[in-house]
Amino acid sequence: MKEKGYLLLENGVFFEGVRVGSTQDMTGEVVFNTSMTGYQEILTDPSYADQIIVFCYPLIGNYGINDVDGESEIHALSGAVFGEACDIPSHYESQSSLVDYLNKYNISGLVNIDTRALVKIIRKEGTMRGKIVSSIHEQVAKPFFTHKQHTLVEEVSVKSSVYFEGGSPHIVIVDYGYKKSIRTSLQAEGCRVTVVPYSSSYEWISSLNPDGVLFSNGPGNPEELSYYYPTIKKLSESYPCLGICLGHQLLALSHGASTTKLHYGHRGGNHPVKNLKTNKVYITSQNHGYEVMESSLVHTSFTATHLNVNDRTVEGMVHTRLPVLGVQFHPEAHAGPSDTSFILKEFIQLVKENAHAAS
């Protein structure tokens, strides 16, 4: 009954395990996440589009899947690899098991994998593509993998604007594959929110009369979206803006900075970020494969506000003249710590002050 399955990596190494969920062969970039909790949030984060997520922590699914913790309705990921996927969960909120969930949403999964050994390969050789398959024999002759990255954001962004009732101010989220928690955090602060497609024009967004604009997280290489830099730049010159993750990278790029791919990315809930003004360190939730190059900020009016304590990469920046800031980490948490939830509050404050000054 247990069907064997394999994760075949681009470098020729393969891991044998047991298939769970969909038995469809799937390819994607193989990335690892070090979080010990929050698998439901991770599985539903659209930023994982075209990626196979390896869970470092071996016991996943213990508290099941519930109705509240999904970060989107989309399952953009290509697949998931586990040490163990719990099929008899225990939690008062649990609605189904992880295994049932994978089945229901047709997600290709593998269990009984030595995820640590796999993670060490990725750490050493860098992120690479891989394929979850049922047989490795027939793979030998096949050409390796197909890229489809240019459509990633297209796949996960809303197709038309969606309005969410609330008070003031009014925030427009430019959706590159946003996590629900970004919106609910804003709503919890009293905001009304409009989520617009990533391809929305400046004119369209202006017509919504936003008090502030938030560029969301999303999958893939930010440079694939170079066509939209002018729009983003113009928006940032007109409204208070916050960029989160991919949104932060796009803000930097649109102002002339450059980005580069990290060796194996930052994915987890334990990344230390230092505020360069106060020297305080916050533990943040992160999920990104690209970074804004610090050296490139000199070409812009942005200065770095936050650095990663471990590898000194840029984690946050602020514009010297405009009410515009970006953070590489996820202040909305879910999964992960909410140490930096004040970033969203501060942004709303900035928006309010700006609105006040303008009136």
Q: Which residues bind other proteins (CB under 8 A)?
A: 32, 34-38, 40-41, 56-59, 62-63, 66, 68-69, 83-84, 86, 88-93, 112, 114-117, 119-120, 123-124, 268-272, 274, 278-283, 309-310, 333-339
Residue 317 to residue 90: CA distance in whole angstroms: 42
Q: What is the DSSP letter of 36?
A: S
The answer on whether 289 is annotated among ligand-binding residues is: yes
Of 15 and 215, CB closest to other proteins:
15
Of 124 and 159, CB closest to other proteins:
124
The answer on whether 96 is annotated among ligand-binding residues is: no
Of 60 and 214, CB closest to other proteins:
60
Nearest distance from residue 276's CB to other proteins, in Å? 11
How many CB atoms sit inside 10 A of residue 122's CB? 21
Of 40 and 194, CB closest to other proteins:
40
Of 166 and 272, CB closest to other proteins:
272
Residue 231 to residue 315: CA distance in whole angstroms: 23
Nearest distance from residue 50's CB to other proteins, in Å? 22
Question: Could you tell me which of 36, 42, 1 has the C-alpha nearest to residue 18?
Answer: 1
The answer on whether 218 is annotated among ligand-binding residues is: yes
Nearest distance from residue 283's CB to other proteins, in Å? 5
Nearest distance from residue 188's CB to other proteins, in Å? 14
Nearest distance from residue 280's CB to other proteins, in Å? 5
Residue 359 to residue 356: CA distance in whole angstroms: 5
Structure tokens at 162: 């969606």
Residue 128 to residue 134: CA distance in whole angstroms: 20
- How wide is the angle at C-alpha 150 spanned by C-alphas 38 and 51, nearest 5°? 30
Active site residue 332: yes
Full DSSP string of 42-82 = HHT-GGGBTEEEEESSSEE-TT-B-SS--S-S---BSEEE-
Active site residue 86: no
Q: How many angstroms separate the first and last alpha carbons of the chain? A: 68
Of 41 and 175, CB closest to other proteins:
41
Structure tokens at 239: 């409204």
Contacts of 179 (CB under 8 A, 6+ apart): 41, 45, 46, 47, 71, 72, 216, 217, 330, 332, 334
Nearest distance from residue 108's CB to other proteins, in Å? 21
**Choice among 241, 291, 332, 334 that is catalytic:** 332
The rounded radius of gyration (Å) of the Cα atoms in the chain is 20
Residue 182 to residue 214: CA distance in whole angstroms: 9
The answer on whether 109 is annotated among ligand-binding residues is: no
Active site residue 356: no
Contacts of 121 (CB under 8 A, 6+ apart): 9, 11, 13
- How wide is the angle at C-alpha 332 spanned by C-alphas 328 and 335, nearest 5°? 95
The answer to whether residues 84 and 113 touch, using CB atoms and an 8 Å cutoff, is no
**Choice among 170, 288, 319, 330 that is catalytic:** 330
**Choice among 86, 191, 241, 245 that is catalytic:** 245
The answer on whether 287 is annotated among ligand-binding residues is: yes
Q: Which residues participate in the annotated binding site for L-glutamine?
A: 47, 218, 220, 246, 249, 287, 289-290
Please report, in range form, the residues annotated as the binding site: 47, 218, 220, 246, 249, 287, 289-290
Q: List, by residue number, the catalytic residues.
A: 245, 330, 332
